[in-house]
Amino acid sequence: MATSFCLKGNEFDRSNLFIDNAYPESSGKIDVSMFKLSSYQLNEKLKIKAHPLYFFLNPSIELNWLHKANDKSAFATYHKISYPSLMLNFVKKEGTLGIISNEFEIPQMIAIGNGILYSSSFGQDSYWTAKAGIEFSLGGSELDDRTAIDLPVVAPRDEVYYRNYGFNVALSVESHFAGKFRYVVMTEGFLFPADGSRFYWENSLKLVWKISNKFELCGGAFLAYGQYEFGNQWHLLPALDFNWKFN
């Protein structure tokens, strides 16, 4: 499942970063990825993020509010709202691709998250972003614990519905690697203190290959740790994505 890409590349700027960041986007630019949210700069302070494909199945929208920026760094807050009930009901069924058993009811729920983003450059063509936030859910108290999807990537993002609130902290770094390649390193922790507490930790190491000014491919490895209902487990998974830019 691994993919490594080998093409030549050149410099990139902070408006074209692959990692989540506080910088404003280039005017009129939209990018579409498989797993990242697409972002669009509404005005000089506000950036809106959503997934153009998944939004209709898993509605989630995020606003980034830029508070301070200079040549080197930027500070923003993020504010998001998610509605998971549609997606959970979609995968709740009998037979093949039934991820959640049909014997359960999925209540109407939303999650609201707020946090801070700080991005800065270091060296030449290198950037880092720190992120910290809190998320809490409404309506999740009626959700049966047995609907939990005990898988990496999914579990840390759904845990808030079972435990009412949680915190996350992330650090990511992006820099030029060679030619048309950049590397991206990310680490993110999720802590849910309620009801005995749960902790998840994700790390990834990827290469981003700039195929053209409008298209990038990304491949690498994703290492996840989680405290699941059945115990603690590590997972090593392939990480694949693309980035398609529209101006």
Partner 1 sequence: MTKVLLFFGILLILFACEPLTETFDDYSCIKYQANKIKDIPVPDSGIKVMTWNIRFGAGRILWFGESCGKRVIMTKEETILHLDSLAAKINEIKPQILMLEEVDISSKRSAYIDQIQYLLDKTHLNYGVYSSDWKSQFIPSDGLGKMDDGQGILSVWQLEDIQRHDLPLRGDIDALTKYFYKRYCIVSAKVKAPGIDNLYAMALHFVAFSVDDTKQKHVAKLMEIVNKMNAENKKFILGGDFNLLPPNAKQTDYCIEDMCTWESYHQPGDDPQHKEGSYYTPEITWMQDVFDNLKPSLALSDYALNPVKYYTHGTNPELFWDRTIDYLFSNSDWVTNSHKVHQEAWHISDHAPVVATWRVK
| Distance in Å, CB of 135 to partner 1, minimum | 24
Q: Whole-angstrom Cα distance, residue 158 to residue 95?
A: 23
Q: Whole-angstrom Cα distance, residue 171 to residue 116?
A: 12
Name the strand (E) or helix (H) holding 45. none
| CA terminus-to-terminus distance, the chain | 31
| Distance in Å, CB of 222 to partner 1, minimum | 10
Cβ closer to partner 1: 28 or 123?
123
Cβ closer to partner 1: 70 or 96?
96
Tokens matching residue 38: 């697409």
| Distance in Å, CB of 104 to partner 1, minimum | 8
Cβ closer to partner 1: 34 or 178?
178
Cβ closer to partner 1: 44 or 145?
145
Name the strand (E) or helix (H) holding 155. helix 154-163
| Distance in Å, CB of 12 to partner 1, minimum | 17
Residue tagged 């999807």 (tokens): 149
Q: Of 197, 204, 168, whose CA–CA distance to 183 is shortest?
A: 204
The residue ranges that bind partner 1 (CB under 8 A) are 1-2, 4, 92, 94-104, 146-147, 149-151, 177-178, 183, 205, 207, 220-221, 229-231, 235-238
